[in-house]
Amino acid sequence: MNNSMISAAVTMNGLQRKLDLISDNIANVDTVGYKAKQGSFQDTLTRVQNQGKDFQLDGRRTDAGFNLGFGARMSEVTIDLTQGPLKETGSLSDIAIEGNGVFEVQVNGEKAWTREGGFQLASLGDDARNVYLMTNQGHPVMGTNGQPIRIPANSKLQVDGDGTVRALNPNGTSTPAGRISVARVDRSEGLVQTDGNVFVLAEGANEAEVLTNTGVTAQVRQGYVEQSNVDLTAQMTDLLQVQRAYQLAAKALTSSDTMATLANGIRQ
């Protein structure tokens, strides 16, 4: 009875985390650039329990033992970086990535990355002569030169397919303004999603093994944003399955508790 209670309790804990993950995905189904999260499970402390001597009979063809575990737990959460559908907005500051890539941004002075290309042009600090390409959370979008992308305040933004940025001046001329830094993701498990739809390196991860800035084939599309890649139908199906599994584990826990109560109430 103790084993069944432990197994049910551990499983319910893992399923609750799965429910939280699914609810997070569903809540962000309309979030620009959001990437669905997936959870994987593994058995907890599984071992083979040997049967008693009475089961070890001559001529027995099956193993005299059975698997005994203590439920399942969520082992890791991974990010699904498959591309979502692109939506045309017509805004010059909206930029989407086609293919495997992430924009490099700066968050609190540290490197971070995002697929959310609903950018805006805003001033930064005391620099009134220029405007900077920034995320909706106010994080500067970085260029390949390690500096934020900036253009003169009275000009328009133009972005080529390879990320090259130009400032279209009122007199009809254009001024080079750098190139947006787009990195290819080689190991998605090395990224962790944080607030504001921003990715940072997982603890202990090496940037060179997770991301690379060479050989990037992804293209950028100005005037578009990438929508969420959450499959709402699949998420609702998973939600129903997890709810049923949670109910089953809760029933097993209740049954074990009932049996323990009956056993404790037996008088010699």
pLDDT tens for 183-212 read 999 998 899 988 888 999 999 999 999 999
Instruction: Measure CA 126 to chain center.
Output: 35
What DSSP string runs through 26-79? HHTTTSTT---EEEEEEESS-EEEEPPGGG--TT--S-SEEEE---EEEEEEEE
Domain spans, the chain: 2-81+236-265, 86-226
Whether the pLDDT of residue 154 is over 60: the answer is yes
DSSP three-state, residue 127: strand
Q: What is the pTM of this model?
A: 0.80
Write down the H helix ranges in 70-212. 207-210
Phi, psi values for residue 108, rounded to 5°: 55, 40
Q: Supply 41's token pair.
A: 């499970």
pLDDT tens for 216-248 read 999 999 999 999 999 999 999 999 999 998 898
